[in-house]
């Protein structure tokens, strides 16, 4: 058994309940191994989340093994929670084999969901309304008799209440009388709007507290099908709920669950509630990106609070104002949640963008330096040709270093050749590169599963003896954009290449009417920038 915690509702405390490992993993295209789940659980534990729902023991072997492993590698602060439904119709909870793996999971807390909507009882469970009430009562009483503390998730609560409020209330009264310590209102279909959440939550909390002397704690669980999950959860808190269930990055089935990365800072920094320790809040951005990496899902750069672009400033007027006073275009300090301000450069940039970006790169420039004007004009010229530096800051940093005359030269490209041959339905690609290092010419060849792969392999092969760190570099993303579709196969293309050394990542760009040449430009700059990171110890976007 894990540690206990005092969950009495107080005016200012909000209990965050994370269901990334269960509800979040139901997102289409998301699959977590046992090791993935353990890594995420321990990272959430370090963030300070008090409840971490690990899955449904017995529903699949992975969840059973996860809880076993968690007993060997216990959480230090959070409560692990097992999840299950009420017992089946027609048998007692003690007889239902579905509940035995829940007990074996060894968690003190168990979350049980039951039916609130009479439509689901009759058509989904194919049973009577009275039997559904008995299933709720029997399941909770059984788990309480086994020493478990119970959170009751009222599934489809808002739809059920709107359809048959009298019966929906009976389900909650039954759960409370049976010993559930938390009653959670679930907007399972995600279609309820904030004004409905407010009205129903307020009315029901008042009604239940008038009808019973038993202390009741209330929670909220919202889905994002109407794009209002976060707003709905905030509204419910304002009406008196004290547990908020959600997932990191809003992962979840269909359109996802309420995003804890937005809920936590909104609740804590804007509404003044106590969710997690402020010293842990600064880990929120890092946790968001770490979990996206473990889940093998690209981070949402435009996510509120934790996104790479959440505090990015592009327009020259904005940049100038933010540098004088960040409050002009920022709703809070990004450092409070572990993010940081970024100045973006593009064809909309002004001198303020160039100076701010130079400062972040450690380049000493001032407004009167003619190099500032030269960099700005070069930027606009290249963006007019199709380059895009706001998504390729590594390339822009190299450009700035070149303009001020301190760009390091690690190698010089003399030429390259790519040969593709198709035999018996198989395509063989061979790339040859010629580079110069320290005045010495090197010719190398390598095969790959495509021209970019072969060129990258040949270039690394030529350089790795001089720069062993290249062995740890990887191409982690490759994006191609056609810039002038009307030109057909002669169209100019823009290639963005993301590289990584296992701890950091950076993006470079290439543009050409020849897609291989554009790719090669981006790959070469990616390797060059990686070597700068290696030699100067520069810090860019971290992966963990």
User: How confident is the model over 149-158, as pLDDT tens digits?
Assistant: 999 999 999 9
Neighbours of 174 (CB within 10 A): 20
| 275 contact partners, CB below 8 Å, separation of at least 6 | 14, 16, 264, 267, 268, 281
Which string of DSSP letters, residue by residue, matches 30-55? Answer: ----HHHHHHHHHHHHHHT-SEEEEE
348 closest CA partner among 382, 377, 314, 372:
314
Cα 423 to chain centroid, rounded: 43
The dihedrals phi and psi of 421, each to the nearest 5 degrees, come to -135, 130
**Residue 386 pLDDT:** 83
CA dist list (Å): 288 to 233, 281, 307, 416: 19, 12, 9, 40
| 97 contact partners, CB below 8 Å, separation of at least 6 | none
Classify residue 327 by its DSSP letter: G
**Residue 120 pLDDT:** 94
Rounded to an integer, what distance in angstroms lies between the CA atom of residue 393 and that of residue 538? 13
Which string of DSSP letters, residue by residue, matches 225-276? Answer: TTS-HHHHHHHHHHTT--EEEEBGGG--STT-B-BHHHHHHIIIIIS--B-S
- Burial (CB < 10 A; 0-12, 13-18, 19+), residue 143, is buried
| 468 contact partners, CB below 8 Å, separation of at least 6 | none
Angle (nearest 5°) at CA 535 between 529 and 538: 65
C-beta of residue 348 within 8 angstroms of C-beta of residue 316: yes
Helix 370-385 with 393-404: angle, nearest 10 deg? 140
C-beta of residue 321 within 8 angstroms of C-beta of residue 328: yes
C-beta of residue 386 within 8 angstroms of C-beta of residue 511: yes
9 closest CA partner among 281, 209, 235:
209
- 83 beta partners: 111
Rounded to an integer, what distance in angstroms lies between the CA atom of residue 303 and that of residue 305? 6
Classify residue 223 by its DSSP letter: B
- 217 beta partners: 182
Rounded to an integer, what distance in angstroms lies between the CA atom of residue 195 and that of residue 212? 26
Rounded to an integer, what distance in angstroms lies between the CA atom of residue 282 and that of residue 293? 19
pLDDT in tens, the chain (544 residues): 344 455 554 569 999 999 999 999 999 999 999 999 999 999 999 999 999 999 999 898 999 999 999 999 999 999 999 999 999 999 999 999 999 999 999 999 999 999 999 999 999 999 999 999 999 999 999 999 999 999 999 999 999 999 999 999 999 999 999 999 999 999 999 999 999 999 999 999 999 999 888 899 999 999 999 999 999 999 999 999 999 999 999 999 999 999 999 999 999 999 999 999 999 999 999 999 889 988 888 889 899 999 988 998 877 778 778 878 888 889 999 999 999 888 777 666 677 778 887 887 888 888 788 888 888 888 888 888 888 787 788 898 898 888 888 888 899 999 999 988 877 767 789 999 999 998 899 999 999 888 888 999 999 999 999 999 888 888 888 888 887 766 666 678 889 898 988 888 899 999 998 888 999 999 999 999 999 888 876 655 544 3
**Residue 2 pLDDT:** 40
């Amino acid at each position: 058994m894990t540690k206990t915690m005092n969950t009495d509702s107080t005016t200012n405390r909000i209990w965050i309940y994370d269901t990334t490992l269960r509800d979040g993993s139901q997102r289409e295209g998301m699959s977590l191994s046992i090791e993935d789940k353990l890594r995420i659980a321990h990272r959430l534990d370090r963030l300070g989340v008090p409840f971490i729902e690990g899955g449904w023991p017995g529903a699949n072997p992975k969840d059973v093994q996860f809880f076993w492993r968690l007993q060997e590698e216990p959480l230090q602060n959070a409560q692990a929670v097992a999840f299950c439904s009420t017992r089946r119709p027609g048998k007692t909870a003690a007889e239902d084999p579905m509940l035995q793996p829940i007990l074996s999971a060894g968690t003190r807390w168990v979350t049980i969901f039951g039916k609130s909507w009479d439509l689901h009882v009759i058509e989904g469970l194919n049973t009577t309304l009275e039997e559904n009430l008995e299933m709720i009562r029997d399941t909770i009483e059984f788990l309480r008799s086994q020493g478990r503390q119970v959170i009751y998730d009222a599934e489809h609560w808002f739809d059920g209440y709107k359809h048959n409020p009298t019966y929906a209330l009976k389900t909650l009264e039954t759960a409370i009388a049976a010993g559930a310590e938390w009653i959670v209102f679930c907007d399972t279909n995600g279609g309820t709007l904030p004004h409905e959440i407010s009205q129903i939550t307020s009315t029901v909390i008042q009604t239940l507290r008038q009808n019973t002397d038993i202390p009741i704690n209330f929670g909220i669980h919202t889905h994002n099908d109407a794009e209002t999950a976060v707003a709905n959860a905030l509204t419910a808190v304002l009406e008196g709920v004290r547990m908020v269930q959600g997932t990191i990055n809003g992962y979840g089935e269909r359109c996802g669950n309420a995003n804890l990365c937005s809920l936590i800072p909104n609740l804590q920094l804007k509404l003044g509630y106590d969710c997690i320790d402020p010293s842990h809040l600064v880990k929120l951005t890092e946790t968001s990106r770490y979990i996206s990496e473990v889940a093998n899902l690209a981070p949402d750069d435009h996510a509120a609070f934790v996104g790479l672009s959440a505090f990015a400033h592009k327009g020259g007027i904005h940049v100038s104002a933010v540098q004088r006073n960040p409050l002009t275009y920022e709703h809070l300090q990004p450092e409070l949640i572990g993010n940081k301000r970024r100045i973006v450069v593009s064809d909309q940039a002004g001198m303020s963008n160039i100076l701010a970006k130079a400062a972040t790169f450690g380049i000493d420039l001032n407004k009167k330096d003619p190099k500032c004007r030269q960099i700005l004009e070069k930027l606009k010229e290249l963006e007019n040709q199709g380059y895009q530096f706001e998504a390729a800051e590594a390339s822009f940093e190299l450009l700035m270093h070149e303009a001020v005359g301190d760009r390091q030269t690690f190698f010089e490209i003399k030429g390259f050749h790519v040969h593709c041959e198709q035999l018996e339905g198989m395509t063989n690609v061979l790339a040859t590169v010629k580079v110069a290092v320290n005045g010495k010419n090197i010719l190398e060849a390598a095969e790959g599963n495509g021209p970019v792969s072969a060129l990258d392999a040949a270039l690394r092969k030529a350089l790795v003896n001089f720069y062993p760190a290249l062995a740890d570099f990887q191409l982690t993303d490759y994006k191609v954009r056609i810039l002038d579709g009307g030109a057909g196969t002669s169209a100019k293309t823009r290639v963005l290449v993301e590289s990584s050394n296992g701890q950091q990542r950076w993006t470079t760009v290439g543009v050409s009417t020849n897609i291989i040449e554009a790719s090669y430009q981006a790959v070469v700059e990616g390797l060059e920038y990686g070597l700068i990171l290696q030699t100067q110890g520069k810090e860019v976007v971290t992966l963990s």
